[in-house]
């Protein structure tokens, strides 16, 4: 996930709210054309590629400078999906709370050199969602 909204330290007004979304696909060019034409979204390359070198594009709503989501190229490594992401005060603490409540941590990245701390989680009914804390 990108440098989410180039955010400063955690904004208390955004904590525990959906603050980012992501579309992942093995054909990011086609997805960009589709969503661009459908909703008027524009796309820019994320200046910091993923830790695995994967491509990431920032999604901007029409007329807005700050990105609201991302388009990830999966190169076929994972199925296509769309996911909502909630900003939290502490990714590790939230992961622990998810597990306490019966959910699961699918993947967690905390303390990476680039990008925010984030995790993909699974709720008790099997729905995947994300969390992040900007740096």
pLDDT band with cut points at 50, 70 and 90 for residue 1: very low
When pLDDT is averaged across residues 32-46 and rounded to a whole number, the result is 95
pTM for this predicted structure: 0.76
What the block records as the tokens of 111 is 């303390």
Annotate 104-130 with three-state secondary structure. EEEEEECCCCCCCEEEEEECCCCCEEE
Question: Do 129 and 86 touch, CB atoms closer than 8 A?
Answer: yes
Q: pLDDT tens for residues 48-85? A: 766 666 789 999 999 999 999 999 998 888 889 999 99
The alpha carbons of the chain give a radius of gyration, in whole angstroms, of: 15
SS3 content of the chain, % helix, strand, coil (to 5): 20, 35, 45
Q: What is the pLDDT of residues 89-130, one digit of tens each?
A: 999 999 999 999 999 999 999 998 888 999 999 999 999 999
What's the pLDDT score for residue 7?
A: 43
């Amino acid at each position: 996930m990108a440098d989410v909204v180039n955010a400063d330290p955690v904004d208390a007004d955004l904590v525990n709210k959906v603050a980012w979304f992501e579309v992942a696909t093995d054909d990011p060019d086609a997805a960009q054309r589709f969503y661009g034409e459908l909703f008027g979204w524009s796309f820019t390359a994320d200046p910091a590629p993923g830790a695995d070198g994967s491509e990431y594009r920032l999604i901007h709503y029409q007329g807005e400078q700050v990105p609201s989501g991302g388009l990830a190229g999966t190169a076929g490594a994972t199925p296509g999906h769309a996911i909502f992401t909630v900003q939290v005060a502490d990714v590790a603490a939230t992961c622990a709370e998810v597990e306490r409540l019966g959910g699961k941590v699918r993947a967690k990245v905390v303390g990476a050199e680039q990008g925010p701390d984030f995790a993909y989680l699974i709720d008790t009914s099997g729905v995947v969602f994300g969390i992040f804390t900007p740096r």
